[in-house]
Structure 1
Amino acid sequence: MSNQTIAEQVDEFNAGFNAQIGPVLADVFAQEQLALNSGGVPSGAVAVGDVVRDADLVSTDGSTTTLSAALGGKAGVLVFYRGAWCPYCNIALQTYQRDLLPKLREDGVALIAISPQTPAGSEQAVTNGGLEFTVLSDPANVLIRELGIVTEPAATAREAHTQLGFDVADSNADATGDIPFPTVLVVDANRTVRFADVHVDYTTRTEVPTILAAVDAL
């Protein structure tokens, strides 16, 4: 699996997942993805040249920190993800742990994952993926909203989640269904965005070679 792209891993996961949940629920999620792709990236979404403000965030132990403290004066790769409940997020985070983090460490670049989950949810993401990089919560999507990447599952998708025994609001710190579009930002030491990749289709993610190319261009 070490040489598989995220997309290849997602294809393998989808084959098993769709067979497990059946054609009716699989079609609900497929229709949601079609609608998201049709809507496209929001016009106000974060873009190259923007400066990411120094937001308050929450660590896995519940303590408050800031984005600047987490970056530690370094350039960084910021990964905004939906939550530990999202299998596509877990595939991406585990791939970044395996294939991205070693090179970033060599280059002195921070890797930080951010979601609207509770600290316990963030800790679950760490445990699920054996993550060795910083994982933080943006409890009410404050930073996520400022970056213009907030969304929420379609009503039909939330109904499907309920049938599968899950509700995103149970994992979010503010008990809403608000989540980010999966997004990767590469920021310099001044938190200026040098690369931005917003994915409206939550089954897709930024591949490791693309991120490394952006880091090399810093």
Structure 2
Amino acid sequence: MTIHLAEETRTMSLNQQLAALHAERVRTWDPAALQINIDQRRILVETADPAAWIKEGDSVEPFVLKDVEGGDLTLESLTATGPAVLIFFRFAGCPACNIALPYYDKALALALRDVGATLVAVSPQVPDRLIEIRQRHGLSFKVASDIGNALGRRFGILYTADEASQAAQRAKGGFIGDTTGTGTWELPQPAVVVIGHDRIARFVDVSPDWLVRTEADAIVAAVRDITLVPAE
């Protein structure tokens, strides 16, 4: 799915770009469809339970993610040389994700490599479908599948679409479980989890509203605090 936004958005912050996406929808979407989208995001914000989310200071138990290009990414391997930065996103065709991941590639990936951190974008979508987003944007960092939403569930960041959203998808002949290959309505809320070399969560930011996401500067600052690399 190609996202068509004005060229000037390329110099905007991530959340400015996501706001521009919403503004485009306001101009072009059917009002009823737009309201379903707005209501779903509002409900997710209102019913969010931060107590269920992974927290800074929590010990992270071993896990395995499936690299879309083959092989396993384990907690041990991801933290072998420094912090691991996990960016949870919904699926390869998600319009907001197609804005967020290229943004992170441009604004975050190099800065993290410079301080020895490993960046991985994580979605429950099965690897043979998820690889599409990495190839589409030529992403320089790993993209991995969280099979069965196992890690997202452990981190407490999953949500299930409300009835109105499910009905709207069914009316179009769609089902997100077919798109992701998971067979369920569950998706992760956008989240960033930074895990130190000691396997402790050092930074956590979860956004129930998928049109609000963590800016790169906050992630870089968190990683620099761990690695003790001073800002330039």
- Residue 33 of structure 1 and its aligned partner are, at CA, apart by 1.3
- Residue 82 of structure 1: SS of its match in structure 2? coil
Which residue of structure 2 aligns with residue 168 of structure 1?
Answer: 176
Amino acid at match of 2:117: V
| More displaced stretch, 39-48 vs 109-118 | 39-48
Instruction: Give 1:17's aligned residue.
Output: 25
Residue of structure 1 aligned with 2:54, choices 30, 46, 51: 46
Are the counterparts in 1 of residues 18 and 96 from structure 2 also a CA contact under 8 Å?
A: yes
Please say if residues 183 and 197 of structure 1, whose CA atoms lie closer than 8 Å, have aligned partners that are also in contact.
yes
The structure-2 alpha-carbon separation of the partners of 1:180 and 1:30, relative to structure 1 and needing over 3 Å to count, comes to same
Rounded to whole Å, the distance in 1 between the matches of 2:182 and 2:72 is: 16
Q: How does 1:67-216 map to 2 (within 5 A)?
A: 67-163=75-171, 166-216=174-224
CA distance 1:98–1:162, shift in 2 (3 Å): farther
TM-score by structure 2 length?
0.87
Distance 1:44 1:187, change over 3 A: same
Shift of 1:68: 2.4
Backbone CA RMSD of aligned residues: 1.8
Q: Give the TM-score normalised by the residue count of structure 1.
A: 0.92
CA distance in 2, matches of 1:90, 1:72: 29
State percent identity of aligned pairs: 31
Relative to structure 1, is the Cα distance of residues 170 and 66 closer, same or farther in structure 2, using a 3 angstrom cutoff?
same
Judged with a 3 Å threshold, the aligned counterparts in structure 2 of structure 1 residues 160 and 12 are, in CA distance, closer, same or farther, namely same
Aligned counterpart for 2:68 among listed residues 52, 60, 84 = 60
CA contact (8 A) 1:139 1:172 kept: no
Code of the residue aligned with 1:73 in structure 2: it is T
Tell me, which stretches of 5 or more residues in structure 1 are unaligned? none
Q: Deviations over 1:90-127 (max 9, x none)?
A: 21111100010111111111101111001023201202
**Structure 2: tracts of 5 or more residues without a match:** 1-8, 227-232
Greater alpha carbon shift after TM alignment, 2-11 vs 100-109: 2-11
